[in-house]
Structure 1
Amino acid sequence: MKQFSVSIAGGGSTFTPGIVMMLLDNADRFPLRKLTLYDNDGDRQGILGDALAIMMKEQAPNVEFVHTTDPEVAFTDIDFCMAHIRVGKYEMREVDEKLPLKHGVFGQETCGPGGIAYGMRSITGMLEIIDYMEKYSPDAWMLNYSNPAAIVAEACRVLRPDSKVLNICDMPVGTLRRMSQIIGKEPKDLEVSYFGLNHFGWWTSVKDKEGHEYIDDIREYVSENGYLTQVEVDTQHTDPSWQDTHKKAKDIYEIDPRFLPNTYLKYYFYPDYVYDSMNPEYTRANEVMAGREKRVFDQAKEITKRGTADGIGFEIDAHASFIVDLARAIAFNTHERMLLIVENNGAITNFPDDAMVEVPCIVGVDGPEAIVQGKIPNFEQALMFQQVTVEKLVVEAYVEGSYQKLWQALTLSKTVPSAKVAKDLLDDLIEANKGYWPELK
């Protein structure tokens, strides 16, 4: 079987060790010959890279392992770039979450003003990595799961339309794992139909391979419990804030019980609830920094101190196996069915062709082919059109350096109550993001 060279962009991320462990756990399905970590913060990446070098030598000595800040080293002779960058790191995520609270608006890393701010920062970083990949390995594919995926995907559509970039999100995968636990099935045994935007969509069908439909069973469960399950099915979404999110799906479901909702819809349907629930002194960013961030870096330092990963090893991020599925689909032309963020082009028949939508796709050697989901109801169509217009305005503001268009984007967002609040927010966001955003006029 062919062996592959993979570069992980965002090598200093707390998710990187779990991704590396996941890749090793799937070595029989997706063999590696080389694995490279790339980050522009060498000090941060070095802590994880040094520990992972020890672990790789013990567990996968035949795989060449490198961690570097040199783009030429990182992107030369690769087959895939797996990108999960965070421009501004958790310090700026904390700003994204706390600054809007001063204006009576919730803060969140992908939704509302926080997501818009993060999106404006992320575009530059994503374009830089795409350009490095195309310069040093023009035949490589980028598998991007960096947030905010909707804005990043729209920016790629506009600014790098011919690049081999696939945008994917782990949230539908995580929710499907919860659905599978509800009905006592394995996620791999289920096939879904879904329509929407990233972090903004609905399931219309959940079937097993024999064609049995389970959506009514899941709807009955969600109507009483949300997506809370008795047994936790992933390690990423178990913190208190996530447990509240899974529970809130019950209220989101009531708005249109025909479909099963994405949990992120709580930010658009219940922004007042989210705002009232937030602690301005301790947001999700603080929760992550005190939890996963500390745990992962402490483990890495301990491995380096001991000179062995034996008995300390990182957790396997089985939740992220969808990344291997996507890479395999391209490498081996498996025609895997997966939810991806792609240009609509008729997949949702009553929605603009140039919208970046999240729908099931068949993935092979030439990339994804969207499966037509047909016509969607007026309620969801209107909500999606409002949100996709926000995302398009953000990208236009970035490209044109337009203060006006970013003000319009914030004003149009369902999470912001008025144009005045949007303007006041924008002025504060510009100040907070100096050095990250293009200059707006």
Structure 2
Amino acid sequence: MKKFSITIAGGGSTFTPGIILMLLDNLDKFPIHEIKLYDNDPERQATVAGACEILLKEQAPDIRFVETTDPEEAFSNIDFVMAHIREGKYAMREQDEKIPLKYGVVGQETCGPGGIAYGMRSIGGVLELVDYMEKYSPDAWFLNYSNPAAIVAEATRLLRPNSNILNICDMPIGIEELMASSIGLSSRKEMDVKYYGLNHFGWWTDIRDKEGNDLLPQIREHVSKHGYVTVEKSKQHSEASWNSTFAKAKDVQALDPETVPNTYLKYYFYPDYEVAHSNPEFTRANEVMEGREKFVFEECQKIIDNQTSKGTELHIDEHASYIVDLARAIAYNTKERMLLIVENNGAISNFDPTAMVEVPCLVGSQGPEPLVMGEIPRFQKGLMEQQVAVEKLVVEAWVEKSYQKLWQALTLSKIVPSAQVAKDILDELIEANKGYWPELSKEGAGTLATDEVVKS
């Protein structure tokens, strides 16, 4: 049986050890010849890689391990890239969250101004990785779960239309685990779902068990009373911010009680509530830096110091199982049904065919085959049209280096109350992101007229 070679791009990420542990736990289903960690921050990566090398020696000594900052070494002779990069790290995420809050606007890493700022940083980094893969391993597949996934997916659609890229997000997977738990199932894999939307912006419309029994009424009832909070605490996050998010889903669902929503819709439906319950001095970025970031790096250092993983509290990242399933679907042509971010092309019949939508797909060796979700209601369609316009304007602003289009994107975001507030936030974000964003020009709106101009 073929053994696969994988590059994890973002080797210094706090999520890398959990992904390594998940890969090790699935070697019977997805055998591995080599794992390479690649990062442009050698010091940060060294700590994670040092621990991961010991984990591999203990659990799978036959797997070759490489830690590198050299693109040629990282991307040569591989089958898959698993990419989860964060341009600017948590220091810039903190700016993404705190700058909008100064103006009474939601500060969040993927929604509104924070997501736009992060997207402007991420596009170039992800495209660079795609280009390395295509140069050194042109037949490999790029599994991208770098945020903000919606903006990154639109950029890859527009600027690398023929590349082997799958854009994915594990948030729906986490929510589906909570749904399964809420009705007494042991795993989301016992359910088949219908879902449509944009990334961090969608709705489940049908959920059934493998015998075809309708589970949605039971799940809807639970969400209407408790959100996604379940009695099984192991399924919940430990941080207070996440648990309030899961609870708030009941208020989000009230807008369309026939469906169950993605949790991130709370930022668009209840921005005033979110701002009122935010601490401008201590945001989610601070929570992560003092929580997961500190924990993972301390655990990695402990493994290095002790030269053994015995007693470590590092654990498998269950969300990462989605990455293994996706790689297996491509490697073995399994046609597994999975939620992916893909070009619409009629999957939602009454929506922009070029929009990057999140829908169920059958995944095989040729990539995803989106399932047709049909027409969507006016409420969701209106919300999605506004949001997809924001995402497209951000990518056009990045391509054209256009201040005007980025201002338009911020103004159009449902979270931002006015064009003046959008401009004030944008001007401060430009200062904070010097060296990360393209230098924006205020001269006109650029020359990008159509998708075809960029693709040619």
Deviation at 1:58, TM superposition (A): 1.1
Alignment of 1:171-320 (within 5 A): 171-185=171-185, 186-234=187-235, 237-312=237-312, 314-320=314-320
Deviation at 1:175, TM superposition (A): 0.3
Match of 2:334 in 1: 334
**Is residue 404 from structure 1 mapped to residue 404 from structure 2 by the alignment?**
yes
- Counterparts of 2:295 and 2:438, CA distance in 1: 35
SS of residue matched to 1:147: coil
Deviation at 1:238, TM superposition (A): 3.2
**Is residue 16 from structure 1 mapped to residue 16 from structure 2 by the alignment?**
yes
Match of 1:386 in 2: 386
- Counterparts of 2:377 and 2:341, CA distance in 1: 20
Deviation at 1:234, TM superposition (A): 3.7
Deviation at 1:434, TM superposition (A): 0.2
Unaligned runs of 5+ in 1: none
SS of residue matched to 1:81: strand
Match of 1:29 in 2: 29
- Counterparts of 1:392 and 1:100, CA distance in 2: 21
Alignment of 1:66-105 (within 5 A): 66-105=66-105
CA contact (8 A) 1:80 1:327 kept: yes
- Counterparts of 2:370 and 2:113, CA distance in 1: 30
TM-score (norm 1): 0.99
Match of 1:430 in 2: 430
Deviation at 1:54, TM superposition (A): 1.4
Match of 1:42 in 2: 42
Deviation at 1:313, TM superposition (A): 5.5
- Counterparts of 1:274 and 1:302, CA distance in 2: 37
RMSD of aligned C-alpha atoms?
A: 0.8
- Counterparts of 2:321 and 2:183, CA distance in 1: 21
Match of 1:348 in 2: 348
SS of residue matched to 1:255: coil
Unaligned runs of 5+ in 2: 442-456
Match of 2:448 in 1: none
- Counterparts of 1:314 and 1:261, CA distance in 2: 31
TM-score (norm 2): 0.96
- Residue deviations 1:84-110 (CA, integer Å, cap 9, x gap): 000000000000010111111111000
Deviation at 1:281, TM superposition (A): 1.0
Percent identical residues: 67
Deviation at 1:232, TM superposition (A): 2.8
Q: Matched residue pairs, number? A: 440
Q: Return the letter of the residue paired with 1:32.
A: I
- Counterparts of 1:233 and 1:204, CA distance in 2: 26
SS of residue matched to 1:57: helix
Q: Return the letter of the residue paired with 1:404.
A: Q
SS of residue matched to 1:146: coil
* Superposed structure 1 runs of 4+ greater than 2 Å apart: 232-235
- Residue deviations 1:155-192 (CA, integer Å, cap 9, x gap): 00011001100000001000000000011112111100
Q: Return the letter of the residue paired with 1:187.
A: R
**Is residue 413 from structure 1 mapped to residue 416 from structure 2 by the alignment?**
no
SS of residue matched to 1:62: coil
